[in-house]
A and B are shown apart, each in its own frame.
Chain A
């Protein structure tokens, strides 16, 4: 596609529920990143994929968070037993090379609200 697409744009869920957030990167981009942005803060790194594998998942806050990228393109971020503290904008970015020398293209994000 022309840009990085994230769906849904908004998600409201009840505490304790399971949610999935989808990211469709630019076609051909091998590197994919998930970030979380809380109000008034910069993006915080969650996980980085190179191809199908998670090259770095050191930013995932706990084992309720998991992400997959089974075919090396679309990625899904999964959050189990959601908590109110998970409320944030979840951003996805992709780049055409592992090093990101060309810059990173971001999607518009999914705003997750846990009530």
Chain B
């Protein structure tokens, strides 16, 4: 079985400050990890992924995420938040073998205040 936990329903941050959106996962075997962003009335947009290699992954719009195997975490980060970053963020995981189906977390609402 595979699962994702996003422990925060909402994250509030001031514009210009660093942001972190948390994600922990559980899989059998090695994980493939993904972050997606969803704007109102839109589908999910791919931000970044970890498959293998460097634990620090850089993605779109200045976002990055750090894979931590010992803590089974894949937190999303950005050094300086923008108001336009306000959206819903979803973490997803699938195992490197077996099922090709990614499992998504419940999502975290990021609100960046001017």
List A residues at the B interface (Cβ < 8 Å): 4, 6, 31, 33, 35, 40-45, 48, 50, 55-56, 59, 91, 93, 98-101, 103-109
Contacts and interface: CB of A to CB of B under 8 A. Distances in A.
Contacts of A93: 44
Given A40-B106, A48-B101, A56-B99, 15 more contacts: A6-B43, A31-B100, A41-B106, A41-B107, A42-B4, A42-B90, A43-B104, A59-B101, A91-B44, A99-B32, A100-B94, A101-B32, A105-B46, A106-B36, A107-B43
B45 interface: yes
B31 interface: no
Interface of B: 4, 6, 32, 34, 36, 41-46, 49, 51, 90, 94, 99-107
A43 B101 contact: no
B101 to A, nearest CB: 5
Contacts of A6: 43
Contacts of A35: 104
Nearest to A42: B104
A100 B43 contact: no
A22 B35 CA distance: 25
7 contacts: A42-B90, A42-B105, A43-B44, A43-B90, A56-B101, A91-B43, A108-B42
A48 B100 contact: yes
Contact of B100 (A40, A42, A98, A108): A98
